[in-house]
Amino acid sequence: MFTTVMKDGTTYKAWGTCKGDAIEGDCYFESSDGVHWTRPKLDVVKLDGRETNLLLTRPYQPWLRIAHVFRDPTADPAERYKMVRQGFMSPEEFERSEFRERRPDDWETKAVGDQVRYIQGGVSSDGIHWTMLPEPLVVEFCDNHITGEWDERLEQYVIYTRKWHANQRAAGIDLGNWKSAAKRAVGRTTSTNFRRFPRSTVAMTSPSSMPPSHLLYANSKTTMPGAPDQHVMFPTVWNIVKDATYIRLATSPDNGIWEFAPVRELFGTGGPGAWDDGAVFASPNLIELPNGDFALSYWGFDVLHKYPRGQYHFSPGYMIWPKGRMTAIEAKEDGEFSLASVVLPGGRLLINASVEPGGEVRVEAEGVDGRTFKTCDPITGDQFWTPVSWSGGDSLGLSKGDIVRLQFKLNKARIYGIEFDDREVD
């Protein structure tokens, strides 16, 4: 089961869970195309004298397997890769811990029960040899997939986690288990110091447009491939009436304010008898495959989510969007729109669009001679990262660093994306 997939340079890398007869551990995988994976032999953990691919081993505990790895471009090389996951300690260990002494009031009381739950961090130079940080990043109740990242614009680490949204109890009222009065939500916490985070606050909860029986599970926060400032989330939604799960899409302009996309169910379980007919859970990251397809890893279960534990089977899979066509601006007849002015990162405009017979797309660079709707060569058919041209030339007539405002006219067409660059296109 993959819990993190990323493209690192020209190599696709994944971290996940490997379970043997007696132990479970975190395993590392590599691929040249994101589809065919291998487990390199690693001399990290020896089992019965044999080299294994296990990075960490432990007795079987299902919730410990949910970890997320990210690459930190700002860090010292010794900590270039970072991990966030759930951690557990006994109440006695917590009372004796340096965290309790240094941050006596900076922890969540809901985290303390038979075990104390917290968010744990790890650092690595290569994503294989890990040092787990001895002190919690933050002590709060977290019982699902945690995701972490370095946000270049915010210049902060951002962690998304499971949050139980509950107001303060009225004095004298005892509801028993606090979960009975809480609502599952997605929490968010930020810090400039990877070793210390404040308690998370609610970043997103199920809106009033969703039935009250539909609750948010794993957040699967990621970004669009090649666009670290374009934030997306693929929350798993659990329908507690049917004990069924499905995936939704949410977007954010600033990695803080979130809203759901109009489509109510992006991805659901397979049909009767399918290997993923019981439940599905998305996990980051969204990646681009060599052919331009977008892929998001998920886990598929053969039985319902709350089926008796230990009696299920699960496997990893991909949600695939051919040619990166996840969402689009569509005009079933005539339509037009404009973009805000942008600083050009390249002198050519590429477009990912599909046009029905009899339709077209035209583009104008406002105020640029010869780059008008009239001189634009009509874009028709299925165009995947095709250069936009005017009177046969595919230059915008501007240079990298210039400012331009683009306008679009489309008829019976969908525009999935645009890019700027100077590279040759096959």
pLDDT tens digit sequence for 328-380: 999 999 999 999 999 999 999 999 999 999 999 999 999 999 999 999 999 99
How far is the C-alpha of 377 from the C-alpha of 361, rounded, in Å? 9
What does the alpha-carbon distance between residue 9 and residue 382 come to, in Å, rounded to a whole number? 29
Domain boundaries, the chain: 2-324, 329-421
Task: For residue range 229-252, list pLDDT tens digits in order.
Answer: 999 999 999 999 999 999 999 999
Lowest mean pLDDT among 21-25, 82-86, 240-244, 362-366: 21-25
Phi, psi of 188 (to 5 degrees): -140, 135
Among 117, 131, 149, residue whose Cα is nearest residue 284: 149
What's the pLDDT at 178?
Answer: 66
pLDDT band at 55 (very low <50, low <70, confident <90, very high): low
Write down the pTM of the prediction: 0.90
What percentage of the chain reaches a pLDDT higher than 70? 88
Residues 100, 101, 103, 105, CA torsion sign: positive
**pLDDT at residue 170, as a whole number:** 61
Could you give the CA distance from residue 163 to residue 182 in angstroms, rounded to a whole number?
9
Instruction: Round to whole Å and give the CA distance between 241 and 77.
Output: 48
14, 73, 130, 273, 344 from 125: Cα distances, Å: 16, 12, 8, 43, 35
User: How many CA atoms does the CB half-sphere of 172 hold within 13 Å?
Assistant: 0
Is residue 338 within 8 Å of residue 404, measured between CB atoms? no
**Whether residue 264 has pLDDT greater than 90:** no
Q: Which residue type occupies 157? A: Y
Q: What is residue 288's three-state secondary structure?
A: strand
Q: State the chain's mean pLDDT as an integer.
A: 89
**Residues in a beta bridge with 376:** 390
Cα separation, 162 vs 238, whole angstroms: 13
Q: How far apart are CA 78 and CA 139, in angstroms?
A: 25
CATH topology of domain 2-324: Tachylectin-2; Chain A (2.115.10)
In tens, the pLDDT along 159-218 reads: 999 998 776 656 665 555 666 667 889 999 999 999 999 999 999 998 888 998 999 988
Q: Which helix (H) or strand (E) holds 169?
A: none
pLDDT of residue 156: 98
Query: Are the CB atoms for 316 and 65 separated by under 8 Å?
Result: no
Query: Is the pLDDT score of 425 beyond 60?
Result: no
